[in-house]
Amino acid sequence: MANFGWLVFLLGSLQGSIAAPTSDAKATAAKPKPHILFLLADDLGWANIGFHRTSATTEDEKQGQLEVQTPTINQLVSEGVVLDRHYSYRICGPARSALLSGRLAPHVLVKNVAVTASNPEDPVSGFAGIPRNMTGMGAKVRAGGYKTHYTGKWDAGMATPQHTPYGRGFDSSFIYYQHANDYWNKKTGIQATGEITTCLNAFYDLMIENHTYRGPYKGAALTDACKDSTEPTPYCYEEKMFEEHSLQIINNHNTSDVEHPLFLFHAFHLLHTPLQVPKYYYEQIEKDVIQRGGKAFDSQNRRMLMAMTKYMDDTIKNLTAAFKAKGMWNNTLVVFTTDNGGPIYEPGSANNYPLRGGKYSDFEGGVRTTTFISGGYIPEARRGHVHNGIVSVADWYTIFSELAGVDPRDTQAEEANKWLKEQGLSLLAPVDGKAGQLDATLGGTAGPRDSEPLFLSGSALLEYPYKLVTGKQPYMVHTGPLYPNCSTIGSMQKGNGPDFIDFSVLEEKIDLGDSHYWRGDCEAGCLFNVEEDPSESIDLSHDPAQKDRLTRMISTLADFNKTLFVPERGETHVQACYSAMLNGGGHFGPFVDIAGYYSDPPRVIEDLSSKEKTQMAVMGALTFDSVKKVVQKYAPKILLGQLEKSCDKCCEDGSCDGQTQNLPDDLALVENITMHHPAMHHQAMHQEPEVATV
């Protein structure tokens, strides 16, 4: 077995405090501030929600309407206000970083970066997620007196204690850090994230933070033991664990303490891959559709996604019921949104009909995000209305700062800029969130963004009602009312996509070519009028009458693009994996400047199981470029083959009775490649990898 003497790493350099950022703002105390329940869905498609399915003309549309079951959400919408022009960013990490930092995604994070990345040259921005010295949403509302709690998916960075929910001002959190984990075993397998990382998908991703404990979740539910249970909501299903946690927070809230209202951020794992749901829901959704006069599902994944959607709806029913039971509802503001539009690749299986494209594209299907507000806080006169003002995902930070009575300005970031400027490093952008958005929404008046351009991404600009989309765009298609379907599955099986575009092995992206991603090219610019043509079907860029507009918008985008925030985030380092093994007890967590963060003392090599020791040896072996290259060469072939096989199943005859099969253990595959390749094996066992400090 490998010699572990070389496992002497980063822990020495760990210093710094974990004091949560503070705000200089003052609370104002007029009438009691509302409780806030923020519900963030993951990867929700425009057509995967009942209130976007109200008009159905064709048979297929009627079938689609029967399949999408969100009665609770529909009810909340009827008592609330729909924000019909809410824009986010095309993928999750940047969208969430925007939401939690109040910056437009192009000003905080433009692409997903591995949580284990770090660039020692830039201790402020040289990590994944929100730069360390920006003030988070939690800190703002807490400064206004709120009790702040975060449950569910984070995906806004984890490198230092300042990057975590606790560091961003949440009194407590129960979270996972990455884009997804497995709903059953809580590890970050290939099915969850579509990648094999430097840490070889070996770790759990489930953490707890509060004032008395910070470290791995240790309960018995780190298992897939309940996967075959016929109970509707077995506890080891991660969404159930999150629901129970949030219910406890609501139930423990001291309602007499009006100075300290509740801010609960519940970020669902649903509806992100892997497609996993308790058997009961998978059975029940088909029964319900048939009972209401519909047909059986013809795509196993579509059925799975609809079952997951119903599960999310039932969870919202329970969370809102808890607010009601505590007598908090009449002063509660509920916000519901999704990080980005639905992924229309397999196995993402969402549908943005009638919008074009999906997650990873700048078309409306990727960036126009289903959003509404509800709860007793909504004035009666506005209930059941639709707000048409343009709202950005970055605006919530300012909306909540206003509700909390604090100044949204980020003085901590301004302070850091003095140093960053001296060092010649990228400066942190000021908060982009607009003041007055909630007043406009509740008052039914024009909003602050309605008459100015919105910087959607480095390749797209909205100047309502016109929208410019440039460059290569994946998923440049219109899906139908029933998507995915047997035709989609047929296309996939013939190798014509839609494949997942972000597949990577040891941080190297695999690109299978345009046809696999239904990728097209808008080159210098496609131009749409999204008000008259919400599906972006008519490209106006060749219309002579639009020539000036097109030229002007291209130039506006180029100007905006000069403000794109692209600091050097750094490479992934195996030290982050070692830290997860020892400090995090086999869970992902902060790995830089962690002194005083983890409640438990770190494990030592002797504490590890023999499997864990092997895992560390393989991770270490991968620090050799030669070893890494061999894995990068062989692993994609094996994995893509596995992924395509396990993807979706066409069952026109209503034969989708089994759940999607599971892939083999990722680590075993990588181990096989490294350990059974004689030259590599020799090198791994006899050379000491370089252990750089992070």
Ligand X SMILES: *[C@@H]1O[C@H](CO)[C@@H](O)[C@H](O)[C@H]1NC(C)=O
From candidates 293, 327, 544, 601, binder to ligand X by CB under 6 A: 327
Radius of gyration of the chain from Cα atoms?
24
Bridge partners, residue 87, by sequence: 368, 392
Cβ-proximal residue to ligand X, closest one: 480
Give the residue with the Cβ less far from ligand X, 65 or 689: 65
Is 652 a residue that touches ligand X (CB under 6 A)?
no
Is 364 a residue that touches ligand X (CB under 6 A)?
no
Is 257 a residue that touches ligand X (CB under 6 A)?
yes
Is 600 a residue that touches ligand X (CB under 6 A)?
no
DSSP string for residues in 638-650: HHHHHHHHTS--B
Give the residue with the Cβ less far from ligand X, 395 or 432: 432
- Element of type H or E holding 577: helix 574-582
From candidates 119, 491, 556, 683, binder to ligand X by CB under 6 A: 491
How many of the other CB atoms lie within 10 Å of CB of 226?
17
Q: Which region, judged by CB under 6 A, interacts with ligand X, from 300-308, 385-393, 445-453, 664-672?
A: 664-672
From candidates 164, 315, 349, 541, binder to ligand X by CB under 6 A: 315
The size of the interface with ligand X (CB under 6 A), counted in residues, is: 50
Is 125 a residue that touches ligand X (CB under 6 A)?
no
Is 102 in contact with 410 (CB distance < 8 Å)?
yes
From candidates 248, 487, 614, 687, binder to ligand X by CB under 6 A: 487
Hey, which residues between 540 and 599 contact ligand X (CB under 6 A)? 557-558, 561, 564
Please report the sign of the dihedral spanned by the C-alpha atoms of residue 394, residue 395, residue 396, residue 397.
Answer: positive
Is 303 a residue that touches ligand X (CB under 6 A)?
no
Q: How far is the CB of 330 from ligand X (least distance, A)?
A: 4
State the Cα–Cα distance between residues 112 and 92, nearest whole angstrom. Answer: 8
Name all contacts of 536-542 with Cβ < 8 Å and 24+ positions apart: 536/355, 536/356, 536/357, 536/363, 536/364, 536/467, 536/469, 537/356, 537/478, 540/466
Please report the sign of the dihedral spanned by the C-alpha atoms of residue 193, residue 198, residue 201, residue 206.
Answer: negative
Q: How far is the CB of 16 from ligand X (least distance, A)?
A: 5
Q: Which region, judged by CB under 6 A, interacts with ligand X, from 205-213, 269-277, 533-541, 628-636?
A: 205-213
Is 300 a residue that touches ligand X (CB under 6 A)?
no
From candidates 4, 11, 16, 225, binder to ligand X by CB under 6 A: 16
SS3 for 591?
Answer: coil
State the Cα–Cα distance between residues 115 and 123, nearest whole angstrom. Answer: 15
Give the residue with the Cβ less far from ligand X, 75 or 561: 561
Query: Number of C-alpha atoms within 13 angstroms, CB side, residue 521?
Result: 5
Is 136 a residue that touches ligand X (CB under 6 A)?
no
Give the residue with the Cβ less far from ligand X, 229 or 491: 491
Is 330 a residue that touches ligand X (CB under 6 A)?
yes
Is 331 a residue that touches ligand X (CB under 6 A)?
yes
Give the residue with the Cβ less far from ligand X, 178 or 412: 412
DSSP string for residues in 487-539: HHHHHHHTT-----TT-EETTEE----GGGGT-EE-TT-EEEETTT-TT----
Is 504 a residue that touches ligand X (CB under 6 A)?
no
Calculate the alpha carbon distances from 583 to 182, 601, 654 in Å: 22, 7, 49
Give the residue with the Cβ less far from ligand X, 16 or 443: 16
- Element of type H or E holding 307: helix 300-325
From candidates 212, 291, 609, 610, binder to ligand X by CB under 6 A: 212
Calculate the alpha carbon distances from 172 to 140, 152, 200, 246, 656 in Å: 15, 12, 29, 11, 41
Tell me, residue by residue from 411 to 450, as one string, x for binding to ligand X by CB under 6 A and - for no binding: ----xx--x-------------------------------
Backbone torsion region of residue 241, taken as left when φ is above 0, otherwise alpha when ψ lies between -120 and 50, otherwise beta: alpha
380 Cβ contact partners less than 8 Å away, ≥ 6 residues apart: none
Is 308 in contact with 281 (CB distance < 8 Å)?
yes
Residues counted in the chain: 694
State the Cα–Cα distance between residues 222 and 216, nearest whole angstrom. Answer: 11
Give the residue with the Cβ less far from ligand X, 16 or 596: 16
Q: How far is the CB of 523 from ligand X (least distance, A)?
A: 11
Give the residue with the Cβ less far from ligand X, 487 or 493: 487
Give the residue with the Cβ less far from ligand X, 395 or 499: 499
Q: How far is the CB of 174 from ligand X (least distance, A)?
A: 8
667 Cβ contact partners less than 8 Å away, ≥ 6 residues apart: 200, 201, 202, 615, 618
Hey, which residues between 456 and 485 contact ligand X (CB under 6 A)? 458-459, 470-471, 479-483, 485
Q: What is the contact surface with ligand X in residues (CB under 6 A)?
A: 16, 60, 124, 132-133, 162, 172, 208, 210-213, 232-233, 240, 243, 254, 256-257, 311, 314-315, 318, 327, 330-331, 415-416, 419, 458-459, 470-471, 479-483, 485, 487-488, 491, 557-558, 561, 564, 664, 668-669, 672
